[in-house]
Amino acid sequence: MSLDTTVAVELPCWARRNGDRVTVFEQGTRLELEVCDAGGGRLELLPPKMGSATLAGTLAACEALSNHNSGEVLIVLNRDGWQALEADLLRRGAAQVLDADRLAVFPELLWQLPDLWLPDRQIGFPQVMVAGPHGQHPLRPPKGQGLLYHRYIPWLDQVFSLRALDGDADLDLFHRWMNDERVAAFFEEAGSLDQHRAYLARMAQDRHMMPVLGCLSGRPFCYFELYWARENRVGAHYDAGHWDRGWHVLVGDDTARGADFITAWLPSLMHYMFLSEPRSQALVGEPAASHDQQLRNLTRAGFAKVKEFDFAHKRAVLVRLERDYFFKARLWARPAPDEPGRPLQLSLSALLNSGDE
C-alpha cells in the first residue's frame, strides 16, 4: 500500500492557512478570513467581510493558525468584530478576555476542546471505584466504536484518523502485520489466523484494553493498543493515577515511517487520549531499555524518563507525559523554539496574570 498520493480531506469542518488568509471548509461551504501578523507570535484573525462565521468555523480557523508552528502563537480577536460569537467562545473556554478591546484564543485551551477532533463527544462517564489487580480503579466506560478521532495534518496534507479495530473486518490486516518479520521481532505475536482471531477476541472482552488503527486519509498504516495503566502489568511498577493511560504501537506500513509521519501520529494519539477522557492527567509507556531510537522519539515528543524496571520478558523504561505539559508546550504542532527551555511568553498564565496588552 503506497501513501504517496494525497487523498481529498473529508472533515465536517476544517481550515487551511495560506499566508495571510485562512480558508474554512464547513458542510460544503467555503469562507475566507484574513489574518494580520502583529509580530511576536500574535496573529489577529479578522471577521469575514462577507457572510458570517460559525462557532465551529471560527474554532477551525484558530486551529489552522496553531497546528504547525515552530514558535509560540497567540490568536487575537477584536471584540467588536467578533461580538456575535464572544459569549460562545468564552463559555466554551476557547477564548479569554485579553483587554477591553480584544479576546485571546490560547492554543493550550483551544486544543483541549473536543469539538473539531472527536466525532462522538461523549458525556463524562460516572466514576465508581472497583477492585483491580493493583488496587482500586474506576469502572471503565465502554470502548469507542467506529471513527474515534480525526485531524488534518498540514505538513502531510492528509487527514490522520483513529478508528476502533474491527475483529472481523480487520483480521487479515492484523494477521499480515503481526507476521511481518520486522514487527514480529519486537511485538512477538506472530501466529496463525486462528491465533490472531483469538487474540483480538480476548482483547474485545478486556475492559482495560482497546485496539485501534491509525489511518492516513482513511488507509490504515499503524496499530495501537491503548490501556488503562492501573489494571495493566505496568501498574505493578508505579502508582498509576486513576485515569492514566498507556499504549503500544506498531507501524505496519514501511512507507509511513520517518519524522514527518511520527510527528503526525504520535502527538495526535496523545491528543486523542487526553481529549477522550479529560480526567486523564498522564500518559505512560514502557519501551525496551535497549530501544534507543524509540526512546529518543519519545523524549522529543515530551515524555520524561521516570525509571528502569524489569518485566518478565524485557528490561523496560517507564516514560510519562503530563497533560498540562502537552498542551502548554503545544506538542501537536512540531514546536522548535529558538531558545529551548525559555519560559513561555504567550501562555495563559504569563499574559493574564501580568495584565500584558
Q: Is 186 exposed, middle or buried (0-12, 13-18, 19+ CB in 10 A)?
A: middle
> What is the grid cell recorded at 273?
487520549
User: Among all chains, which residue has been given the C-alpha cell 480577536?
Assistant: 77
Q: Is 211 exposed, middle or buried (0-12, 13-18, 19+ CB in 10 A)?
A: buried
Q: Which stretches of 66-146 are assigned E, i.e. beta strand?
A: 74-78, 96-97, 102-105, 129-130, 137-138
Is 189 catalytic? The answer is no
Does residue 102 sit in helix, strand or coil?
Answer: strand
Q: Cβ neighbours of residue 64 under 8 Å, at least 6 residues apart?
A: 14, 15, 16, 17, 22, 154
Catalytic one of 286, 308, 322, 357 = 286
Q: Cβ neighbours of residue 292 under 8 Å, at least 6 residues apart?
A: none
The one-letter amino acid at 208: H
Angle at alpha carbon of residue 151, lines to 234 and 165, rounded to 5°:
50
Report the catalytic residues: 286
